Amino acid sequence: MVKIAGSKKLKRQMAPLFWGITRKDKRFVVTVNPGGHKKNSSIPSSVFLRDMLKSVKSLREAKFAIYNGKVSVDGVKRKSLHHGIGLMDVVELDGIKDVYRLVPKNGILLQPIIINDDEKTKKIVQVKSKTTIKNGKTQIGFHDGRSLIDETNISVGDACVLQVPEQKIIDVIKLEKGTQVLITRGVNAGKTGMIDEVKEGTFILPKRVNITLDDRQIEIPADLIMPIGKDKPVIQIR
C-alpha cells in the first residue's frame, strides 16, 4: 500500500469550525490527506460520518464502515479515514437510503443536504485551470482536483456538469451575465444570485463579478462563486 506523507492527526483547536467537532474532549482529531480538495475546505470521511452526519458514534465504528467499503464518494468506494470530502461531492452509505451532497449553507462552508436518488450521478465542478499539453490537446483542471483531457469550449471560471463516476461532461455553465451562481465562501456562503456584470481582472485586482443578491447588488471576487445554471440550478443545492 502506498503511504501518504504528512501528519495523520490535527489538534482539535486548529480544525475548521464547519467540521462540527467538540474542542475539549480529546486533544487530536483525524485530519485530511493531501488530495483533490484543499485541507481547509474539506472534511475527513471519518469525521464526516461521526461528527457531521452522526451516523456512527465513534471513530472505531467509522473505521469499520470505511474499511469495509461502505462509503462511496462520487460513485467510488473510498477506504481511507483521511479521504477529504468537499464542495459538491456526493456521498452514499451502504445500508442508508439517503444520498448526500456537500454544499455551503447559511454562511457555513460545507453542510450535507439530502438529494434525490436520480441526482447522485451528477456533480457540478468549476474550471480552475486550462492547459495545452502534448499533441495540442487541452487538459482541464477542476476545483475538486480532477482533470480531464477534453476539447469542450470552456474557460477558467466556467462550470461543468459531470456524470460521475464516468467523468463525462454533460453540460457547460458559462460565467457570464444572466447566469445563476452560488456563493461558496464568506458570510454569504450558500446564497444564490444572478450575474449582472463580469469585470475582467487586472495586474492588481482579481476578476470580479457584480451579482444581484436578495434584492441588492454586490461586487464579489470571481473565485468566491460557482456557476450553477441559467434560470435555475441544474442540480439540487438545497
Could you give the 3-state DSSP secondary structure of residue 61? helix
Q: What is the pLDDT of residues 103-140, one digit of tens each?
A: 999 999 999 999 999 999 999 999 999 999 988 899 99
Which residue, 118, 135, 163, sits at the end of a domain? 118
Q: Is the peptide bond before 165 cis (omega within 30 degrees of 0)?
A: yes
- Whether residue 201 lies inside any domain: the answer is yes
Q: Are residues 101 and 187 in the same domain?
A: no
Residues of the chain with pLDDT > 90: what percent?
Answer: 75
Radius of gyration for the chain, computed over Cα atoms and rounded to the nearest angstrom: 18
Q: Are residues 25 and 86 in the same domain?
A: yes
Q: Are residues 141 and 51 in the same domain?
A: no
- Whether residue 127 lies inside any domain: the answer is yes
What is the domain range of residue 47? 9-118
Contact 35, 83 (CB under 8 A): yes
CATH code of the domain in which 216 resides: 2.30.30
Measured distance CA(193)–CA(67) in Å, rounded? 41
- Whether residue 237 lies inside any domain: the answer is no
Q: What is the pLDDT of residues 176-229, one digit of tens each?
A: 999 999 999 999 999 999 999 999 988 888 899 999 998 899 999 999 999 999
Cβ neighbour number for residue 163 with a 10 Å cutoff: 14
Give the pLDDT score at 25.
76
Cβ neighbour number for residue 227 with a 10 Å cutoff: 24
Q: Are residues 62 and 101 in the same domain?
A: yes
Measured distance CA(55)–CA(112) in Å, rounded? 12
C-alpha cell at 14: 486548529
Q: Are residues 35 and 76 in the same domain?
A: yes
CATH code of the domain in which 89 resides: 3.10.290.10
Cα torsion 27, 29, 34, 38: sign: negative
- Number of structural domains (the chain) is 3
- Whether residue 1 lies inside any domain: the answer is no
Please give the mean pLDDT across all residues of the chain: 92
pTM of the model: 0.90
Q: What angle do CA 45, 91, 169 make, to 5 degrees?
A: 120
